[in-house]
Structure 1
Amino acid sequence: MPYGPEITYDDTLKVWSGGERENYFAPHLSIGEIIFREMERHPKLIAQISATEKTVLTREEVRFNAMRVATYMRGLGLKQCDIVGLIARNTTHLVAVAYACFFNGMPFHSLNISYEQDTIEKLLSITRPSLIFCDGDEYARVLAATEHIKLDTTIITMRNHPSGSLRILDILSTSIEDNFRPARLEQGPDQTLAILCSSGTTGVPKAVTFTNSQQILWSCTPMTTDVVQYSHSTLDWFSGLSVCINAGVFSTTSIIADNKFDPAFLCRIIEEYKITFLVQSPSQMAMLVSCPEFDASDLSSIRHYVYGGTACSVEMQHRMRRRLKQADCLVFSYNLTEMNSLGCLNLHFDEKPNSVGRPVKGIRVKIINEKGEALGPSAVGEVCFYSGQHWSGYYGNPEETRIMVDSQRWLHTGDMGYMDPDGFLYIVDRKKDMLKYQSIMYYPSEIERVISQIPDVVEVCVFGVWDEVNGDEAAASVVKKPGTQLSAQDVVKFVKERIGAKYKQLNAGAIIVEDLVRSPNGKTHRVATKAHFLEVTNRTRTQDSWFK
């Protein structure tokens, strides 16, 4: 095959495998021990540059800061069974807090800054952290949440410090413990490293445990000391955690920013810092390729542009690919936070556009039908993954854990997809997003792919609107390119001209919106976007805003 290292396919079990994973480091070493040793090896290399706070830290400075925070935690009497809370942007010293937790073998529970008050309270009531680091911007909300759930904890602010608050700089004045060494894990590699949150696109996020496993380490392309990486993701995202860990392990330079995502700003810092490794969500890609600065920006430094987490139109990917110089630098990724590692990577976009790739080493994939039977190539079913590593499940939620992982440790993704004859995975849609029009099943992504072909479309979300006669009638909320004259009627007409089937028409109409409604981690919130559509269409039926 022309696609690099071969995967294997067991025709009897109908399972695809990426092969055995090889550890870079001794398997008994924790992530904290590995980062501590590797930072000792390259003390003078630049570890991090904040493009917004204008700070520069060497690896030695980051390690010392992490040791100070870890010593402070030890001074409070915190143990490996305790949990540290994080609700923070990517500020200068957040990395020291994360590494301190790793050094102490103490998991942190990271929440998104955009969460509503009820969500913050619910999540904190599950893990009940003994110590919370948050930005001053969220201090009042965090304090109110801890008081409401009767949580006795210390709160430390990372930026914009309210008067009288305990600040991260106060903690960094702590004297490092004599002969400081990272702690050995009491439970070994199966111990929880961190607790992130599920995307929350269908309800309140769940607290997802993340195992202290080396499987999170990037192993698909070389990560060397000349790599300059950037991700706007915070530590409540898999991508944010992964970038943070890989920077410590592989001695790369991280560019960070604590501002709201701004595509023009990203264009500038790619040029200024010569970013080589960029990790983004498809929605961020859509904003980037649609901003006025995109076409004139120098993106030649980028060697790998990694994106994933949700669907991405082929046209959007092609627009990005045309601006990237190096072959196969556009990398579609697929993983679940629950998997605690990468699942698939597509390193062959030009040959296999819109595939999420082949299973990486250490990962097995199977496609099952409604009876749980494994299916062969090209058959559509639910995508299931097996990583071979321990997963502690959703923290404090054994019922949902049992739904997610079966007795043989296969993770059931809820995504519908298929493997092609070359072992590349294609995601069709979310299982729960399947719609039914007059008893005929269809996926909203089928219509989304057509709408995405319109040159003036930036993003689209299709969903079903219930009709007593027809069932789920398709409707669309569409984000158009700034400065264009695309109308809802244009979108409905475009779909009608390209899809012959009546049940796949936009029978419930379309609206043009400034942006889709998103969950805090940037994914399109289909339920909330649908609710906004219904609110708009119920408020006004004029053709200027709605067309059916």
Structure 2
Amino acid sequence: MSNERPWLAHYPAGVPAQIDINAYASVAAVLDEAFERFSGRPAFSNFGTALTYAEIDAASRQFAGYLTGVLKLAKGDRVAIMMPNVLQYPIALFGALRAGLVVVNTNPMYTARELKHQLEDSGAKAIVVLDNFAATLQEVVAETKVKHIVTTGIGDLLGFPKSLVYNFVVKHVQKMVPAYSLPQAVRFRDALSQGASHALPSVELTHDDIAFLQYTGGTTGVAKGAMLTHGNMIANMLQASAWIGASAKPGEEVIITALPLYHIFSLTANGLVFMRLGGLNWLITNPRDMPKFVKELKQSGFTAMTGVNTLFNGLLNTPGFAEVDFSKVHLTLGGGMAVQRAVAERWKKVTGVTLAEAYGLTETSPAVCINPLDIPDYNSSIGLPIPSTDVAIWSEEGQPLPIGEVGELMVRGPQVMKGYWQRPDETAKVLEPSGWLHTGDIARMDERGYVYIVDRKKDMILVSGFNVYPNEVEDIIMQHPGVAEVAAVGVQDEHSGEVVKLFVVRKDPSLTVEQIKEFARENLTGYKRPKVIEFRDSLPKTNVGKILRRELRDEKKASA
């Protein structure tokens, strides 16, 4: 099937079948071009302070000077960054990449155990951490290879006197900075001053050099570092850029960056694709504060936004969102988890813009498939394979299946990772010698090349021998007007092996179990209907808002 590539006939006008991966030698070369071309334009904005491309260029040079000139880190050494979306993030990120170092993106919400594993596993020698999370680092740093610590406050780059006000409020009023003691740490601003006297090192980087260790698979046991090379990142940036092509205007875009830049979706789509376009990344530090988020949207004049289903759903349910000015918006892209029909249709109604679903994995830098941006309505597909990408559906026996059949989604292309860091055994499980990557997702492809995710292999529920896909059940139940959020998991049952259990967050407080069951009877065949329904005030989610079915499943096992 990979040879037929039926999707090419359905590409939007102007999208090429292939990209030229040799357009750039490294991610650093992409940055250099953007800094030169758009020097006077604003690049990143946060809490009302914007830094231009020239300012980010200068500060990231200083930071690179600090890492190599002062700390004496060498090409290939690992630097961890543990920050949400603040102005220090892109400076630390670009400084490390320009110095030829490997960035280890670290979730600030990690527990001490998770942080220790990632620092130990990656062998990071340095870490940049926001004060709010430094207490977690203090607990474990002695047991890792980390020699150098740079700390920073949320307001450090907001300019005087705003920086003092923000740091004071966060620490003393909101009490968001637990006390910590890291006497060896250097402040971020001091690191920049010290680095200013050291020139940007000249480092020879190729497509094979690792740019990121992006940790993933914590849901399947121990998190593994996907080795994403400069070549992988350039490929995916060019693939996504080709896809959005004509609809994005260089030097004029404002993209809302609410997903954290340490997440691969935001990192590539917002941080790289829109940097190369000379766009302004409008950083949202805490998207969970929805009323404040809506206020930011009103001030931003945004043209594009990426997010996950729960984020779009949350905005739609926040007072004031409907009054935002959507007149300039031409692109909203949903990824990271399935976009639900009910959310997509409501989004279109309120904003006038189609919520286009995309699909990717940490292991693919991340984009694999994207819907054409001009589709009139939600189509329940993850779209078409992007340029230079092959997709196939394989049987359990590893054979390509005909169009329309359901099997495992396989991907091959220049964005596929080099492998898992120091885990040849784990790499061999997912990466075939022929270059095909096992995604672990169950999917089908139609005759036009559109791909439909049926579900995650490991989330599938087996009811009396029938496969039930939680996505489908959740999608239907979400269409009930009284439901705000829903998760479907399998629970053990002596008669049918497993049955469907629903966890529901109500939008309408008077919603009953019987009303949901009645709705399910009208819309789902017998074995797919939920047998157990539990109401919750909230559902467990990852840092980017993906609902954790696994945690709900584990809870049931623990209580069984």
Change (3 A) 1:296 1:275: same
Change (3 A) 1:47 1:298: same
Q: Give the counterpart of 2:116 among 121, 146, 166.
A: 121
Corresponding residue number in structure 1 for 2:18: 21
Does residue 1:429 correspond to 2:429, yes or no?
no
Deviations, residues 296-355 of structure 1 (Å, cap 9, x unaligned): 3332221100111111211111000112235xx422110111012411111254356111
Q: Which amino acid aligns with 1:505?
A: R
Deviations, residues 7-27 of structure 1 (Å, cap 9, x unaligned): x9735xx8866764233x854
Q: Give the counterpart of 1:445 among 441, 454, 471.
A: 471
Corresponding residue number in structure 2 for 1:40: 36
5+ residue gaps, structure 1: 1-7, 539-548
227-236 or 435-444: bigger deviation: 435-444
More helix by percentage:
2
Post-superposition offset of 1:442 = 2.2
Asked if the contact 2:313–2:343 (Cα under 8 Å) also holds between the matched residues in 1, the reply is yes
Q: Which amino acid aligns with 1:239?
A: F
When normalised by structure 2's length, the TM-score is: 0.87
Deviations, residues 366-407 of structure 1 (Å, cap 9, x unaligned): 001111111122111111111135632111222111111111
Post-superposition offset of 1:286 = 1.4
Asked if the contact 1:15–1:366 (Cα under 8 Å) also holds between the matched residues in 2, the reply is no
Listed as ranges, the matches of 1:292-307 within 5 Å are: 292-307=319-334
Deviations, residues 91-148 of structure 1 (Å, cap 9, x unaligned): 112111111112112111011111222111111110121110011111121122121x
Q: Percentage identity across aligned positions?
A: 24
Change (3 A) 1:489 1:206: farther
The CA distance in 1 between the partners of 2:80 and 2:198, in whole Å, is 26
Asked if the contact 2:38–2:251 (Cα under 8 Å) also holds between the matched residues in 1, the reply is no
Asked if the contact 2:34–2:53 (Cα under 8 Å) also holds between the matched residues in 1, the reply is no
Corresponding residue number in structure 1 for 2:529: 505
Does residue 1:487 correspond to 2:481, yes or no?
no
Asked if the contact 2:521–2:529 (Cα under 8 Å) also holds between the matched residues in 1, the reply is yes
Q: Give the counterpart of 1:402 among 424, 428, 449.
A: 428
Corresponding residue number in structure 1 for 2:210: 192
Asked if the contact 2:274–2:280 (Cα under 8 Å) also holds between the matched residues in 1, the reply is yes
Corresponding residue number in structure 1 for 2:171: none
Asked if the contact 2:2–2:390 (Cα under 8 Å) also holds between the matched residues in 1, the reply is no
Listed as ranges, the matches of 1:128-527 within 5 Å are: 128-147=123-142, 149-159=143-153, 165-176=185-196, 180=200, 182-185=202-205, 188-198=206-216, 200-213=218-231, 214-217=234-237, 218-219=240-241, 220-222=243-245, 223=248, 224-242=250-268, 243-326=270-353, 329-347=354-372, 348-350=374-376, 353-388=379-414, 391-481=417-507, 484-501=509-526, 503-507=527-531, 509-527=532-550
Post-superposition offset of 1:498 = 2.6
The CA distance in 1 between the partners of 2:66 and 2:367, in whole Å, is 33
Post-superposition offset of 1:268 = 2.1
Post-superposition offset of 1:454 = 0.4
5+ residue gaps, structure 2: 155-176
Change (3 A) 1:534 1:392: closer
When normalised by structure 1's length, the TM-score is: 0.89
Asked if the contact 1:463–1:475 (Cα under 8 Å) also holds between the matched residues in 2, the reply is yes
Deviations, residues 174-217 of structure 1 (Å, cap 9, x unaligned): 253566365221xx101111112226334343222211021121
Post-superposition offset of 1:272 = 0.8
Asked if the contact 2:287–2:293 (Cα under 8 Å) also holds between the matched residues in 1, the reply is no
212-221 or 492-501: bigger deviation: 492-501
Change (3 A) 1:281 1:500: closer
Q: Which amino acid aligns with 1:339?
A: T
Post-superposition offset of 1:240 = 2.3
59-68 or 214-223: bigger deviation: 214-223
Q: Which amino acid aligns with 2:516?
A: V
Q: Give the counterpart of 2:78 among 79, 83, 90.
A: 83
Asked if the contact 2:254–2:302 (Cα under 8 Å) also holds between the matched residues in 1, the reply is yes
Q: Give the counterpart of 1:97 among 92, 96, 104.
A: 92
Q: Which amino acid aligns with 2:210?
A: T
The CA distance in 2 between the partners of 1:16 and 1:371, in whole Å, is 25
Deviations, residues 278-306 of structure 1 (Å, cap 9, x unaligned): 01011111111122223333322211001
SS at match of 1:56: strand
Asked if the contact 1:112–1:521 (Cα under 8 Å) also holds between the matched residues in 2, the reply is no
Q: Which amino acid aligns with 1:226?
A: E
Listed as ranges, the matches of 1:533-548 within 5 Å are: none
SS at match of 1:173: helix
Change (3 A) 1:399 1:236: farther
Aligned residues: 517
Change (3 A) 1:20 1:190: farther
Post-superposition offset of 1:511 = 1.4
The CA distance in 2 between the partners of 1:405 and 1:338, in whole Å, is 10
Deviations, residues 458-486 of structure 1 (Å, cap 9, x unaligned): 221101111223211110011222x5422
Post-superposition offset of 1:276 = 0.7
Change (3 A) 1:61 1:73: same
The CA distance in 2 between the partners of 1:450 and 1:352, in whole Å, is 15
Asked if the contact 1:386–1:409 (Cα under 8 Å) also holds between the matched residues in 2, the reply is yes
The CA distance in 1 between the partners of 2:67 and 2:335, in whole Å, is 35
SS at match of 1:226: coil
